[in-house]
Amino acid sequence: MPREDPAGADTAQACPTPEDVAVLKQWNAISAGIRTLTDQLLDDVDRQTGLAPSSFQVLWFLLNSPERRAPMSHLSQTLGFSTAGTTKVADRLVSAGLMERHPSATDRRVIFAVLTPSGRDVARRAALALASALRQRVVTPLGEDKLTHLAELVNTLNLTPTPDHA
């Protein structure tokens, strides 16, 4: 919706305002910084474990799931992967012996992704690699107090999708 000045003139041509530009630049710095940091952290995990970022995300998710298993559809939704993308990652993990697929005993449409014992070990090693990289790249430069404060600040934002923002 175009803004109006007090005299009623349409100021859409004057947008964005300097204040808009400032907040957009701040957001760009935050989002670009998080994206770059995330890429660096996942590269660190890959170098130490040989796990591609998508494989690590799946293993980490399953490691933290009840009984170390989850429906494939839930995995896709939670991680934001397409069905085809989830299948591709799952195929690689199954071939590597890190995950298995099990049909549901109660619903033939449901397939569960299940960590193997080897998958649990690899997921734990990768989690430790990520924790080490976080200490090096985040905790050391910021300090524990600033990291805690940053996490608290981010958690104050409503990050849960709403029907208007989903």
The model scores a pTM over 0.85: no
Low-confidence ranges of the chain (pLDDT < 70): 1-14, 159-166
Other Cβ atoms within 10 Å of 17 Cβ, number:
11
Position 166 scores a pLDDT of 47
Position 119 scores a pLDDT of 96
Position 128 scores a pLDDT of 96
Helix (H, G, I), strand (E, B) or coil at 162: coil
pLDDT tens for residues 42-58?
A: 999 999 999 999 999 99
Position 117 scores a pLDDT of 96
> How far apart (Å, rounded) are the C-alpha atoms in residues 70 and 66?
8
Position 10 scores a pLDDT of 56
Position 79 scores a pLDDT of 83
Domains and CATH numbers, the chain: 29-139 (1.10.10.10)
Position 122 scores a pLDDT of 96
Helix (H, G, I), strand (E, B) or coil at 145: helix
H helices present in 4-160, as ranges: 18-49, 53-63, 72-79, 83-95, 117-134, 140-142, 144-155
In sequence order, which residues have a C-beta less than 8 Å from that of residue 25 and are 6 or more positions away? none
